[in-house]
Amino acid sequence: MLAKRIIPCLDIKDGQTVKGTNFVNLRQAGDPVELGRAYSEQGADELVYLDITASHEGRKTFTDLVKRIAAHINIPFTVGGGINELSDVDRLLNAGADKVSINSSAIRNPNLVDEIAKHFGSQVCVVAIDAKQTGDDWKCYLHGGRIETDKNLFEWAKEVNNRGAGEILFTSMDHDGVKNGYANQALSILAERLTIPVIASGGAGRMEHFRDAFITGKADAALAASVFHFGEIKIPELKHYLCKQGINVRL
């Protein structure tokens, strides 16, 4: 059985790491390169860097930062934000990224998923899905949670699975930054319907929340931000806790 992964997420705005609640009220969390290096040394399995205003502002993810990250970090990392075409992917991979995360651009142009998988391999293509529950339905959102679409979370996830995505990064917008736990019911539905790994995002507040995402939510990886950035949970302690809970993690 594959080891479950712990993934710190660094949201980047104006070259700095920031963190908010429900996608708003951002506050500074530190230098993205230094934070990433610290997480690498602490035993994080991967990192995710998201340029959170790139799509909204129509910018490209800044390549120089990716080069700096690659020079200082020895674990795989994913970069997302403002990726709209194959040349963007090529540029970021050449700068040192291991994977790219696409969200708004995939919804607007689903063929981009097929193209990335065909040209660079499925393992490079992470499709991020920001979704919010409305009644019994889960709707997907564009531009960092600013624009609602008519796409259903589970149908869209299945479509990108079939198109060749390598992983799904699912963020529950209602759970984001609230620290009450992940959206485990939705996660478990995704895990049952998809043939690719699912990364849980949004809601980590305690070590038990990671355990529940893996056991109840059947997630393959759990992503978190503020609990790591502000020292509320230490990665080595989290991994030892999960190990004691019978969850296979890399120590």
Active site residues: 11, 130
Strand extents, DSSP E, the chain: 5-13, 16-21, 24-30, 47-51, 77-80, 99-102, 125-134, 137-142, 147-152, 167-172, 198-201, 221-224
Question: Tokens in use for 170?
Answer: 């699912």
Comparing C-alpha atoms, which of 69, 126, 75 is closest to residue 101? 126
Amino acid identity, position 115 = E
DSSP state of 219: -
CA-wise closest residue to 227 among 163, 190, 176: 176
Q: Which amino acid is at 140?
A: C
* Count of alpha carbons within 13 angstroms of residue 25, beta-carbon side: 6
Question: 224-238 burial, b if ≥16 CB within 10 A, otherwise e?
Answer: bbbbbbeeebebeeb
Name the helix (H) or strand (E) containing 162: helix 153-163
Cα–Cα distance measured from residue 58 to residue 71, given in angstroms and rounded to the nearest whole number:
27
